[in-house]
Structure 1
Amino acid sequence: SVVTEMTGLGAHTLRGYERAGLLQPARTAGGMRLYSPRDVAIVRRAAALAAEGINVTGIRRILQLEAEVALIRAEFDGVPQPVVAASAERGASGTG
């Protein structure tokens, strides 16, 4: 009920997102769902995409692509700048 209040979404919608594989909340021994801050962020992003008219399949794909971009950015941020600059120069000159 806390997540429904935080996001403005009903429990039915949250269960639907879970069934669609968008999130996998942890569970207590009694079966109660425990949503992490990451789960709440995913729910909010999914709701925003749904509000734009995107179906669950599209939402799933967009979330996957956004996660991939975040990983690539994190990897790129770890590359020393001289290596990045040299790589960009090779790409611009067409010899890379």
Structure 2
Amino acid sequence: MHHFDEPVYMISIVAKILDIHPQTLRQYERENLIAPSRSDGRIRLYSQRDIEKIKTILRLTRELGVNLAGVDVVMRLKDKMEMMENELSELRSEVARMRSSSSVPPEKSLVTKRSVYEMVIFEDDILK
């Protein structure tokens, strides 16, 4: 079995699997929507991850009517959301570790100061 990111499929095979023309795949590459690996002989090689990405592109264009510029925006936003979700997960793990540990490292500690202001009102003897 091949690794999910390992490039193993040639363009003609991917075109048959997805029932699209090879020129469509080349167009997606020109639009920077996909970036298949290349063999030493410059033959495009697609991984299973590439195929999943192409399936997403096809869903967006065929089912939702999104043009390729819109697909690019959607894919970039999707990638950014995944990065943010990973970062959030890491931060949550770090917070959990901090809560379970007995002390907080100085560079991670938070020190707050409280200020108390008092207001004093002086009465003037104006009516004298």
Q: TM-score, normalised by structure 2?
A: 0.60
Q: C-alpha displacement at 1:83, in angstroms?
A: 4.1
Q: 2: CA distance between counterparts of 1:49 and 1:15?
A: 18
Q: Structure 2: which 5+ residue stretches go unaligned?
A: 1-11, 97-128
Q: Tell me how far apart the structure 2 counterparts of residues 11 and 70 of structure 1 sit (CA, whole Å).
A: 29
Q: For residues 63-95 of structure 1, what are the alpha-carbon distances to aligned partners after superposition, in whole Å with 9 as ceiling and x for unaligned?
A: 0000000111111112236949xxxxxxxxxxx
Deviation at 1:55, TM superposition (A): 0.6
Q: Deviations over 1:18-71 (max 9, x none)?
A: 000001111112221001222111111111101121110000010000000011
Instruction: Using the TM superposition, give the Cα deviation of residue 6 of structure 1 relative to its aligned residue in structure 2, in angstroms.
Output: 2.0
- Could you tell me how far apart the structure 2 residues matched to 1:44 and 1:9 are? 11
Task: Specify which of 61, 68, 72 is matched with residue 50 of structure 1.
Answer: 61
One-letter amino acid matched to 1:61: V
Residue 101 of structure 2: aligned partner:
none
How many aligned residue pairs are there?
84
Alignment pair present for 1:17 and 2:28:
yes
Larger Rg: 2
Structure 1 unmatched ranges of 5 or more = 85-96
Match of 2:38 among 20, 27, 31: 27
- RMSD of aligned C-alpha atoms? 1.8
SS at match of 1:34: strand
Could you tell me the TM-score, scaled by structure 1's length? 0.78
Equivalent residue number for residue 5 of structure 1: 16
Q: CA deviation at 1:9?
A: 1.6
User: What one-letter code is carried by the residue in structure 2 that aligns with 1:15?
Assistant: R
Query: After TM superposition, where is structure 1 displaced by more than 6 Å over at least 4 residues in a row?
Result: none
User: Structure 1's 71 and 82: CA in aligned 2 closer, same or farther, altered over 3 A?
Assistant: closer
Higher helix fraction (1 or 2)? 1
